[in-house]
Every structure is written in structure tokens, then in C-alpha cells.
Amino acid sequence: MDKVNFGIIGCGYQTQKNMALAMQKCENTEIIGFYDLDKSKADELASIYKAKVYTNLDDLLADRTVDAVYIATPIATHFELCIKAAKAGKHILCEKSLAMNSEQVNNIITACRNYGVSILEGFMYQFHDQHNFVREMINQGEIGDPILFNAWFGFPTFTETNFRMNKDMGGGAILDAGAYVIHSARKFFGCEPVNINSIISYDKDLDIFGNVLMDFGHNKIAQLSFGMNNSYKNCYSIWGTKGEITLLKAFSIPEYEIPICRIVNQGLVREYQLQPCNHFIKELEYFCNFHSEFQEDELLNQAYAMDKIKDNQ
């Protein structure tokens, strides 16, 4: 297929460290230019990737050579940026969480539908090949019938200047690390929870740690923990009637790192070293090949679950 030309909105860590390089390596994508409120960041990346610098957002959205935008800005800005991009006829790859709440997500979906563009919420982890291996092992009966999905994602507290420490900018653990574990449980069971309970810890008005219990019915349960005031942890484990399978780095793993999958069955422990994978490139390939697909229900159901967790505690 023809390449998808991207305009990148937001030149922070995720763009600098991961996505710009992935777009350069991906055969289906080309970077047209960068925009950031801090022009020096856009200048630096444009120099590296031989691309344009947009001095204002309207110029990027008006550029007819741009097919799609990648949005990597604080969560509180996503709503306005997605609406503007949709009205400009640009397909949208937006970092998670897509918006602050389900009402905003619903309005974004309406705009995308009205203006004929597609949108993907950027949960890059799901495109890593290691999750296919887990599925294959479960389908082969290695752990029996899965009954409990456990997931943990957390890291030490960020500096005060990081947007994740600012509630008004969409900060907090729920919309950041929490989004991953919630999404992974929904994706694993392939259905929506019938009941959600959560316990959230706060520092002043900022959610910094959370525990969530999600009941998917039919004896399928997810126990999820996330935070940003703890030691680093990034894994999920599935407990079945015969054994347990664990990915040691489930949500964030460098492209050069060998994934480790551990299976415990009747006391026997087996450890598999899997092939490295760049899940950012895989995400881009999916977006470019299937961006005409519009998964409204997926976006809304993720947002509904997030709302329930925020309102339930």
C-alpha cells in the first residue's frame, strides 16, 4: 500500500524515544513534520529526521501532504486536538488515554465519523508478538481453563514538572499506568466486565496508586494494580485450572530485549525466551493497513471502564 504520511503533534519523551524512530523504520510510514509548543523540540527532531517544522498547529492540519497525525501530548489536550484533526480530515493515532472521560471520547468518535476519518488509541503493547505466544500456550491447554488475570504496571514517582503529576493536565495513575492493565484485562477475556470495584490512593487530589477487581462473569476475574509511587513492575500473569503463565515485561519492553515467558504447571517451571519485537512498528503497520476500520465500541468500552474505576472508589 502507499505510505501514510504523518504529522507529529508533541515532541516529548514518547516521540523522541520511540515513535519517531519507529516511523523511520516502518515501511508504511513517512514523517512529514513536527509540531510542539516548545519549538526547539520540534527543531531538533526535524533536523534528525529531515522533516518540516510547523510553527503552529493550523499549518500542520492544513498541509495536504499529511494523511494522519500522531498525537503525543498531555491527556487533557487530546480532546481538542482530536476534534481539530478530524475536522481537518486527518486520520488519528493518539496516545492513551484517548481523553479525560467517556463523554469526550464519545464526542471524538462522533467527529471522526462525521468527517470520515479513523482513530486508534495508542496501546502499543498489544501488538507485541509475545502476547500471541501466550495465547498459543493457553489454546494448547498448558494452564487449563484461565480463571484469573493478574496485571501490574507501576513505577517511581515522576518529577513535579511532569504532566502526570498535574491533575488538570490529565495526570494521575488511572489514566496512565492504569489504562494499560485495564485494557489488557478487557482484551484478554474478549468481553466487558459486568462489575468493577476499585480502591484508589491519593496524594492531595492526585491518584497515585490503585487496585481494581473486574468481574467478567462465568468465573473470570481480573485483579489489577497500578501506580507511580512504587518500585517498577510491568507484567501480567494468568492463573488457570492446571497452571500459570507469566510475561515478565508485558507492557513496555525495548525492541532489542528478549521477552521472557514463564509457565508453571504442576510444579514444573519452564521458561521461554521469545523473539524481540518492536511493538511501535507493529502498531504503525496495523494502523496503516487497517486505519479504515473504525472500532467505536472498543474506544467507548475502554473509556466506560476507566470512568467506572474513577467513580467507584
Could you write out the DSSP letters of every residue in 120-185?
Answer: EEE-GGGGSTHHHHHHHHHHTTSS-SEEEEEEEEE-PPPPTTSGGG-GGGT-STIIIIIHHHHHHH
Q: What is the 3-state secondary structure (H, E, C) of 71-87?
A: ECCCHHHHHHHHHHHHH
Quote the pLDDT of residue 53: 98
Quote the pLDDT of residue 267: 85
Quote the pLDDT of residue 136: 98
Name which of 143, 215, 230, 141 is nearest 185 in CA terms. 215
Quote the pLDDT of residue 11: 98
Report the alpha-carbon distance of residue 203 to residue 237 in Å, rounded: 29
- CATH homologous superfamily, domain 4-122: NAD(P)-binding Rossmann-like Domain (3.40.50.720)
Query: How buried is residue 222: exposed, middle or buried, by Cβ count under 10 Å (0-12/13-18/19+)?
Result: buried
- pTM: predicted TM-score of the whole model, two decimal places: 0.95
pLDDT in tens, the chain (313 residues): 578 999 999 999 999 999 999 999 999 999 999 999 999 999 999 999 999 999 999 999 999 999 999 999 999 999 999 999 999 999 999 999 999 999 999 999 999 999 999 999 999 999 999 999 999 999 999 999 999 999 999 998 888 788 888 899 999 999 999 999 999 999 999 999 999 999 999 998 899 999 999 999 999 999 999 999 889 999 999 999 999 999 999 999 999 999 999 999 988 999 999 999 999 999 999 999 876 566 899 999 999 999 999 887 5
Quote the pLDDT of residue 291: 63
- CATH number of 126-277: 3.40.50.800, 2.40.50.140, 1.10.110.30, 3.30.360.10? 3.30.360.10
Domains of the chain, residue spans: 4-122, 126-277
Domains 4-122 and 126-277 alike in fold: no
In sequence order, what are the residues at sequence separation of 6 or more whose Cβ sits closer than 8 angstroms to the Cβ of residue 180? 96, 123, 125, 151, 153, 226, 251
Cell of 301: 468500552
Report the alpha-carbon distance of residue 98 to residue 108 in Å, rounded: 9
Going 165 to 11 to 14 to 175, the CA torsion angle's sign is: positive
Report the alpha-carbon distance of residue 13 to residue 8 in Å, rounded: 13
Cell of 151: 496485571
For residue 277, the tally of other CB atoms under 10 A from its CB is 18
**Beta strand pairing status for 119-122 and 233-240?**
unpaired
In sequence order, what are the residues at sequence separation of 6 or more whose Cβ sits closer than 8 angstroms to the Cβ of residue 126? 183, 184, 187, 279
